Structure 1
Amino acid sequence: MSTEINHENLTEKQRNSQAKRAALASLVGTTIEWYDFFLFGTMAALVFPKLFFPGNDPYVGLLQSFAALFVGFAARPLGAAFFGYFGDRIGRKATLVTTLLLMGIASMLIGLLPSYQTGGIIVTILLVFFRFCQGFGAGGEWGGSVVLSVEWSPKGKRGLMGSMTQVASPIALLLSSGVVSLTIFLTGDSFHVWGWRIPFLVSIILVIIGFIIRRGVADSPQFTKMKKENRLSKQPVRDVFKRYPKTILLVILASLAQGVPFYVFTTFAISYGSEQLQIEEQFLTNTLMVVSVVEILVILYAAHLSDKFNRKSIFYAGAIVTVLMAFPFFWLFDTKVAFLVVLAMSLAIIGAGTVYGPLAALIAECFPAELRYSGTSLGYQLSAAVQGISPMLCVYLLNTFNSTAPISIYLIVASLLAIVAVANLKKAKYMDADMAS
């Protein structure tokens, strides 16, 4: 099925139809990719320490498991550079189809791995390699999905359209948590033996669905126009670092206000709750589902408000909420009272969700069309590499100080740095004229 279209002859109705397709493709495709990415995080907290990093010290096993988790984050900037080049040279759509396939195949292969006891150290090496592939694919996914949806956005809806990529994150968390929770329920004691494989193997079905949807989307009007006018950058990755080094740094810092609290309040919280507080695993994964629903609603409303008022103001509000919740989150969580645990995680995610809503459009608006895929991907994914140490760092801080206070301070510092960074971000020249009308 060909998706080549003449953008200049599109009616308003046809343009809106293509915009909806782009939004759906961003939502579904990114949901599938993040499903795989988050699934690894949940299993790194619940299953992988004993399965792939066996030893006498649970603390060391958990650190090693989260180190494998971090490999995916470290790979994301590399994926951003690689796919950013092709996204700005060949096209947004074709690149996104490739990232989707890479993520899905890597996840399926993780589900087929034998345990350490069966295969030895080579199995652990393969786990880390497949995690690297996941991160490499995710590195090109986010920026391309954001750019495709934002460049197709109708006037005055750039924030909301960009949030289609953002809202995919909590939907994926809801989906992965739901599948894990259902699998725990169905397999019982066998979950840690073979049941954990099921959620990974399910991902290949989701990838096929996403592949079909993405094939039906046309490339953005901006990329098509640049290609026709021969305005494509020959070295987009080099050019974006050369022309926008300060912007890249500011985007890295700005993204901390979403990534750091998200991984502390989800991935680390699962490990902390199950290992330190002895809270039932299924209760925690069910709570993640509630948290996901809360974040979906917050992201969409925050994105809508960013179109109506001001993106930066909405971002500041979200970062401040995280600062205010940094200590109360653990106070409530440590009670081990079911209602208060759910309340803690639900309230804490509001800050990250409010930041995440306008973040996609905010970042995309900082780069010109010819460098937008590379700039958006690199800035966000370099930040992700920093954010990825959060679960591992939190385990270290908790074990070293025997207190969650240093973790709360970490959350506050990350949020304040992000506020300063966003205050200094500026739109790219001719940004509004460059976007779809």
Structure 2
Amino acid sequence: MSYETLQDNSGKLQKEMSRKALLGSTVGTIIEWYDFFLYATASALIFPKLFFPTTDPYMATILSFATLATGFLARPLGAAIFGHFGDRIGRKNALVITLWIIGISSTLIGLLPTYNTVAIWAPIMLITLRILQGIGVGGEWAGAILLSMEWGNRKKKGFSASIPNAGVGAGMLLSSGAVGLCISLTGDSFYVWGWRIPFLISFILLIAGVIIRKRITETPSFQRVTEGNQVAKTPILEVLKHYPKQILFVGMAKFSEHIPNSVFSIFMISYVTGSFSISPSYMVNLNTFTSFLMCFTIPFFGYLSDKVGIKRLYMTGIIANLIWVFPYIAFINTKAPIIIAIATIIFVFTHNVQAGAQPALVAQAFPARLRYSGAALGTQVASVFAGGIAPMVCAYLIHSTGTLYSIGVYVAVAAIIGSIGTAFLKNLSSNSVTNTKEDHLGSLNTNVNS
């Protein structure tokens, strides 16, 4: 076979596998983040009443958000476990396992007895399942963006890596839509049994996601690492030894994106419905609309990052977030539903600038042989502080200071930390196995012959 024919066949195979990888990574991400945001919404609206009914409303909210935080605490463990397997046995295999863990955990939450039935065992079982869910999520995000980026067009890394991140918005959209629909259909019965329906749907989504991901072939980048006998024996230990600063800077960059997301998608639902005369369904529907916007704006900003520079766009998003956060708080304080909606939508846009550029920014911070471990560890350790405890911190700040502007300060500090981390973060994606055209074609032919 001539080189031209080989190149042409490999190009077609590359496009086909790229489409499958985009579909598999994004659909899987949608499913896993559907489960995650479903729990987050429930922690704001449902769990305080059903699993912590003997405490005062403030403590019930804190305890409910604490169960949300346990999932974040488990994320670094998931990052270590699946970062190891992702850099040892491949991106695809690790991602199938994470999907099973989160899907089964979420389904079982929908079957849990409440506090009125089994007393203290109810929150204990809830926390246990939440920890398992957190372990799965801890290994999911990095693998999904790598699967998409490493199969995608090398000149469009920002766009390719951003597509699974749009799945986060789609998962939020799906979960918010499911909760909103169940509230409408079940009415007063929502807090009795209606809340269980969205969790039980997870099992159907799980089966669909596993089938799709099973059909994906391992990425060329990981195949080259394998063919070059450069697979790390202990990826987590090696990335900690050789790239500790990169992990730190990735974590700092994550702060400026994750904390605002926790504020507008989790905490504000609880705060606005509890403090103002605004119904939970209104805030859930607002969350649904902003999630819809994320599905399109995140890939757009991923595309834009390839044009203007990934790091440059990410820094632009940080600055936009910093500028808008205090006007956002002022708009929330008006207590007017339409003004709150407008303020939130703008806040989502400033956040999405970062969410579009972040996947490629993080993935390129590590060489291919340690990329899964580095990306997972850097983001998921930070998520404990940037996402896990953020709703509790917000509740504490308002309770202690009596003003919503304290949350604005919290977000502003996160933006400063994020800008420092981003400024010092290096692109190490070239520190890998030689990435020549012949290597790429060889990897593709291995797929054809297997």
Scaled to the shorter chain, the TM-score interval is: over 0.9
Instruction: Identify if the C-alpha distance between structure 1 residues 91 and 277 changes in structure 2 by more than 3 Å, giving closer, same or farther.
Output: same
Does residue 418 of structure 1 match 2:418? Answer: yes
Instruction: Identify if the C-alpha distance between structure 1 residues 435 and 401 changes in structure 2 by more than 3 Å, giving closer, same or farther.
Output: farther
Give distance in 1, aligned partners of 2:319 and 2:380: 23
Matched residue, 1:3 = none
Q: Secondary structure at the match of 2:155?
A: coil
TM-score of the pair, normalised by structure 1: 0.96
- Residue pairs, 1:239-250, within 5 angstroms: 239-250=238-249
Q: What one-letter code is carried by the residue in structure 2 that aligns with 1:229?
A: G
Give distance in 2, aligned partners of 1:56 and 1:154: 54
Q: Deviation per CA, 1:72-104: give whole Å up to 9, x if none.
A: 111011000001111111111011000000000
Identity of aligned residues (%): 42
Q: What one-letter code is carried by the residue in structure 2 that aligns with 1:182?
A: L
Q: CA deviation at 1:167?
A: 0.4
Q: Which runs of 5+ in 2 are unaligned?
A: 1-5, 441-450
Kindly indicate whether the alpha-carbon contact (under 8 Å) linking 2:368 and 2:429 is maintained by their aligned counterparts in 1.
no
Q: CA deviation at 1:69?
A: 0.3
Give distance in 1, aligned partners of 2:412 and 2:192: 39
Matched residue, 2:253 = 254
TM-score of the pair, normalised by structure 2: 0.93
Matched residue, 1:4 = none
Q: CA deviation at 1:55?
A: 2.0
Give distance in 2, aligned partners of 1:329 and 1:435: 48
Q: Deviation per CA, 1:347-387: give whole Å up to 9, x if none.
A: 01112110010111111111111101100100011111111
Instruction: Identify if the C-alpha distance between structure 1 residues 416 and 435 changes in structure 2 by more than 3 Å, giving closer, same or farther.
Output: farther
- Residue pairs, 1:314-333, within 5 angstroms: 314-333=313-332
Give distance in 1, aligned partners of 2:352 and 2:436: 25
Q: What one-letter code is carried by the residue in structure 2 that aligns with 1:294?
A: L
After the TM superposition, which of the residue ranges 423-432 and 68-77 deviates more from structure 2? 423-432
Give distance in 2, aligned partners of 1:71 and 1:367: 28
- Residue pairs, 1:20-419, within 5 angstroms: 20-387=19-386, 388-419=388-419
Give distance in 2, aligned partners of 1:427 and 1:316: 15
Q: CA deviation at 1:10?
A: 5.1
Q: Secondary structure at the match of 2:427?
A: coil
Give distance in 2, aligned partners of 1:8 and 1:86: 31
Kindly indicate whether the alpha-carbon contact (under 8 Å) linking 2:163 and 2:298 is maintained by their aligned counterparts in 1.
no
Give distance in 1, aligned partners of 2:56 and 2:365: 47
Q: CA deviation at 1:14?
A: 1.1
Kindly indicate whether the alpha-carbon contact (under 8 Å) linking 2:159 and 2:299 is maintained by their aligned counterparts in 1.
yes
Give distance in 2, aligned partners of 1:237 and 1:346: 38
Q: Secondary structure at the match of 2:53?
A: coil
Q: What one-letter code is carried by the residue in structure 2 that aligns with 1:158?
A: K
Q: CA deviation at 1:298?
A: 2.2
Give distance in 1, aligned partners of 2:170 and 2:429: 34
Matched residue, 2:446 = none
Q: CA deviation at 1:17?
A: 1.0
Matched residue, 1:427 = 427
Kindly indicate whether the alpha-carbon contact (under 8 Å) linking 1:369 and 1:434 is maintained by their aligned counterparts in 2.
no
Kindly indicate whether the alpha-carbon contact (under 8 Å) linking 2:364 and 2:429 is maintained by their aligned counterparts in 1.
no
Give distance in 2, aligned partners of 1:355 and 1:106: 30
Q: What one-letter code is carried by the residue in structure 1 that aligns with 2:79?
A: A
Kindly indicate whether the alpha-carbon contact (under 8 Å) linking 1:80 and 1:377 is maintained by their aligned counterparts in 2.
yes
Q: CA deviation at 1:229?
A: 2.6
The root-mean-square deviation of aligned C-alpha atoms, in Å, is: 1.6
Instruction: Identify if the C-alpha distance between structure 1 residues 237 and 9 changes in structure 2 by more than 3 Å, giving closer, same or farther.
Output: farther
Instruction: Identify if the C-alpha distance between structure 1 residues 236 and 8 changes in structure 2 by more than 3 Å, giving closer, same or farther.
Output: farther
Q: Deviation per CA, 1:196-248: give whole Å up to 9, x if none.
A: 00010001111111111100100001111222232100000000000000000
Kindly indicate whether the alpha-carbon contact (under 8 Å) linking 1:44 and 1:66 is maintained by their aligned counterparts in 2.
yes
Q: What one-letter code is carried by the residue in structure 2 that aligns with 1:256?
A: F
Q: Which runs of 5+ in 1 are unaligned?
A: 1-6
Give distance in 2, aligned partners of 1:121 and 1:105: 22
Kindly indicate whether the alpha-carbon contact (under 8 Å) linking 1:365 and 1:431 is maintained by their aligned counterparts in 2.
no
Q: CA deviation at 1:325?
A: 1.7
Q: Give the number of aligned pairs.
A: 431
